[in-house]
Structure 1
């Protein structure tokens, strides 16, 4: 499994002038306020910001899990707002992968069966060589016949990562994927996401509040008050932490 196995599109996902408003009238909350951002293919991007900045909302709208009030969201060249519910469901199934804080594994299935579950539900045979390569990337070859209850939290999240990549999605969205893990297991999963990007030419977009986690990404996108306020290439934990402290200072002054 190498980065040359698949030639991804130049842009994996993007939003343009994205606005998301929850509620109406005096109680309306503007979670996204005109955000435009591109997530390049073959890259690992982290989304960060203070609590309530809109980072999870951005991910959910970019992934087609939620709809925008105005603006557009795209996976590759497909505008999500132009799709009916059925076609949007099919796009999420076939072109998008998800990793959440909760592992969401089926307890009665083995590791191998959990990894293949999206393909089986779609009635697709999948690429045996691809799945086999994923098994090596996530380091689970000796656990394929175990069930989730027989695995550590870190191992369960590795299964979830492999499942997200199993269908060769254009982009994998990860929402606080290390939130339920200890620091050592979290480091293993973050390293795995980075290796998956490099070795499979896939794209990862991760929401996190942790500067150490963000440092594993190729780039960090910063939101504040529903707006895109900064981007940082080649992040380090210290640089990200300093940027986040600047938000705290600004909020204290406001």
Structure 2
């Protein structure tokens, strides 16, 4: 019996299987994946096209259901929740950042950031929001609307909104996919600062080794299975690992 401290996971899946379709057309997107995402860490999920990385994120975040196995947020198994409780859990304990910014065009930056709390009927912490606005560098844009912002600024608003309610974990799905390299780098740096300066947890799906290098750890999937994990990644190490999947160079 060991006395070692067990790592606390903000989210994770156990023996996760996800099958789309049936019969001869069935696609096994996840094939018995077990992985935990440590609290207070920045984890990237990578893999070739069709590896199951987005499916893993969607199931871990409660946006899709598993065919078998279990998905957890903290100690809560998502499969035990009815639709209402699952909706409340996603609202209160999970943040989302997507490739499309998904801002409400008629609302100001300040109103977009506070939208999740407004929908929940919660005032939230003014000090937390103020600190968050400073981290994402938007204080001089609070009264602007999304159409008055650059793509990078809009994604920073989306990141601030995701963290506004102090969720247990923020899932980011290709958050730099619509951004140029400079704006993308700013968003990745900000995700890293939220983890390290504000003790948040981020799980990010990406196809970009440079983006993955901002994470504390990279989880690699191939053919719906967990095939590797890399601590303290660099872009070159991640790229070399990705090349090994198919011998054809960088994934598409």
Q: TM-score, normalised by structure 1?
A: 0.94
After superposition, the C-alpha distances for 1:2-57 in whole angstroms (9 at most, x for unaligned) are: xxxxxxx9210010000000000000000000000010000000000000000000
Distance 1:231 1:10 in 2: 17
Partner of 2:221: 223
Output one character per residue of 1:77-101: Cα deviation in whole Å (capped at 9) or x when no partner: 0000000000000000000000000
Moved more, 165-174 or 242-251: 242-251
Q: Equivalent residue for 1:194?
A: 192
Q: What displacement does 1:70 show?
A: 0.2
Partner of 2:150: 152
Query: 1:67-146 maps to which residues of 2 (within 5 A)?
Result: 67-146=65-144
Give the deviation of 1:250 after TM superposition: 8.2
Count the aligned residue pairs: 243
Runs of 4+ in 1 over 2 A off after TM superposition: none
Structure 2 distance, partners of 1:166, 1:240, is 31
Q: CA deviation at 1:63?
A: 0.1
Alignment of 1:165-180 (within 5 A): 165-180=163-178
What is the CA–CA distance in structure 1 between the aligned matches of 2:79 and 2:173, rounded to whole Å?
Answer: 22
Q: What is the aligned partner in structure 2 of residue 237 from structure 1?
A: 235
| Secondary structure at 2:247 match in 1 | helix
**Secondary structure at the counterpart of residue 232 of structure 1:** strand
Give the whole-Å Cα distance in 2 for the aligned partners of 1:183 and 1:249: 26
> Cα deviation per residue 1:58-113 (whole Å; 9 max; x = unaligned)?
00000000000000000000000000000000000000000000000001100000
Q: CA RMSD in A?
A: 1.1
SS in 2 for 1:16: strand
CA distance in 2, matches of 1:225, 1:90: 32
